[in-house]
Chain A
Amino acid sequence: MWAFRAMSTEVTVSVPGVPEPAEHAIAATIAALFASVEERFSRFRAESELSILNRATSAITVSPEMIALLRACRGHVDATAGMFDPSVGGALAAAGYDRSFATGVLDRAHVTDAPPRGCFAELVIDEAARVVRRPPDLHLDFGGFLKGRTADRAADIAGPRALVDAGGDIVLRGGGPHGDGWLVEIEDPADADRVITTLRIFDRAVATSAPNRRRWRTGVTVAHHLIDPRTGLPSASDLAQVTVIAPTAEEADVMAKTVYLLGARDGRRFVLARPSLAAVLVHPGGAHEVVGEVEVVDA
């Protein structure tokens, strides 16, 4: 297993059955992929294509890769009825998340800016001409969606039996080192040393959304990165954490965020209506429930 840092988190790569030098070569290729994607699509890098789009005051031509990302975003926005919305970049900045995250860096005495209103549907995208026109107050942030999507691409590089873990967005290809499945522990959002439950996974991906890590002080209150597109503010969900199991890490990340924002009742219904998904909902206080089909190995 090899590890490197990218997208403000640790990424690990494991390819069972492959000699160590070859596994290292795969990890190096994957590290280059993450570095390249981050350089191009981070909203915190002034020279990135995303930052150029977020600054554009008129229609601009974008790359085929940007068009592919925007097309994927549109699919997720439609699938989640707008609960996933990458146009919350302005709301994140207004809430205080205006630079690359590190513990304590975003703390401030108060929030001065009201969250800008707007939604992804207001973005005008001409796919054929590769031209995008952005309303003035709309700023994109690909966030965890891009991390999951990159983990999926990394797993394609790693092969049919591999694990790629991008800070909790995990792609698990094949049946693990022994063929009897990968084991995925779900961290307790209240105690990082404690495991809530363990799942056995074959050929799927998992992702977790919770406000316990990317949070910062704004005066006497605490803000976090899970913006509710309905309010433009950090979510007041009645859930403490959501883990979603899905065919891809991109989908798992989008759906984990969506279920968290929907809250326990609507989130549970959302998962049960989609047979390709399963979820573990963690309630404040630590109680958890498994929704949908997934094997729990420690119950």
Chain B
Amino acid sequence: MTELTRFESRLYVVALLALIYAGTWHFVARSPAAPAQASSVRAAPRIELQPRPMRRARTRSS
């Protein structure tokens, strides 16, 4: 293997590792379960997406 080929193979390995890292980060960051795992939730309640308007809220006694 020539010096140039060795350089290319190293470059390939580095690029592959970068792709794996980026891919892992992509899925961890976007997985709905990830934040709960990352924030050491104790008996965390279920969190649900609410399709309500974001601008308006309603106050009441509770």
Chain A positions within 8 Å of B, measured between CB atoms, are 1-6, 8-9, 12, 14, 16, 20-21, 24-29, 31-32, 34-36, 39, 144, 147, 163, 165-170, 172, 176-178, 182-187, 189, 192, 195, 206-214, 241, 243
Q: Are A6 and B45 in contact (CB under 8 A)?
A: yes
Given contacts A2-B47, A211-B61, A214-B62, 12 further A-B contacts (CB under 8 A): A4-B46, A6-B45, A16-B55, A35-B43, A35-B44, A39-B43, A165-B57, A168-B58, A168-B60, A170-B59, A184-B59, A185-B56
In the bound complex, how far is the Cα of B35 from the Cα of A124, in angstroms? 41
With A3-B48, A4-B46, A21-B32 known to touch, is A183 a contact of B55 (CB < 8 Å)?
Answer: yes
Q: Please give me the residue from chain A that is nearest to B47 by CB atom.
A: A4
Specify the main secondary structure of chain B where it touches its partner: loop
Interface size class of B (residues with CB under 8 A): 20 to 34
A31–B38 Cα distance when bound, in Å, is 13
Q: Which residue of B lies closest to A25 (CB)?
A: B35
Q: What chain B residues lie within 8 Å of A189 (beta carbons)?
A: 60-61
Q: How far is the CA of A144 from the CA of B61 in the complex (A)?
A: 10
Contact present for A14 and B54 (CB under 8 Å): yes
Known A-B contacts A6-B45, A24-B47, A35-B44; the reply to A185 vs B57 at CB < 8 A is yes
For A209, the chain B residues whose CB sits under 8 A away are 61
